[in-house]
Structure 1
Amino acid sequence: MMNIQEMATASENQLDVKIILMNNDALGLVHQQQSLFYKQGVFAATYPGSINFMQIAAGFGLDTCDLNNEADPQAALQAIIRRPGPALIHVRIDAEEKVYPMVPPGAANTEMVGE
């Protein structure tokens, strides 16, 4: 959400950029840090409703592909990657999925965990 306007730039310039959105219906890094380091006290890290990123991307003029709705996700992924121009590839994931390595709150980039 923080850089969603960049879809307009990609569309206006017909950049051959593929955005892969791993959608956990939350602010992923904020949710992960709060759940790992603040005793599961997740606050202001989830959206109250579902955001339709496919419609947003289409509104900016990007091609879209929702891998969760495809009968053959690998074939759909290959097809949209081969297509010229910008595209959003949407993949819904569980909000509890973690991404590593990560830097704990207050730590330096050299203090990553989960490498």
Structure 2
Amino acid sequence: MIESMIAESINPASRSGLQRGFQALSDPTRLRILGLLEGGTRCVCELQSGLSEIAPNLLSHHLRVLREAGLVHAVRRGRWIDYSLNAEALEQLRKAIPRPKAFAAACVCEDI
């Protein structure tokens, strides 16, 4: 499915990474996490307070999915982990999304 959206020039390894990235973005909670990280690096405790309705073990799961997809960076600081967005990976995902081209002519079915 995603292969049809991505230019053929992208190598299979990159295609696999893009697929993992898009799959990670398919969850609303993970999108909310990325939104919290948009303002800069956040400690996991700050993320937990911003998502208080999410159980800590579930938050850890979502953060792991984002890390494994390469969408966030994680840096351990004692017993805490600081998270930040991986701007390069997010930009690669943006570039993989096809952009519509302007219609050059009217629909051919109107000529029938």
Same-fold call, TM cutoff 0.5: no
TM-score, normalised by the number of residues in structure 1: 0.26
Question: Which of the pair is proportionally richer in helix?
Answer: 2
Asked which structure has the greater CA Rg, the reply is: 2
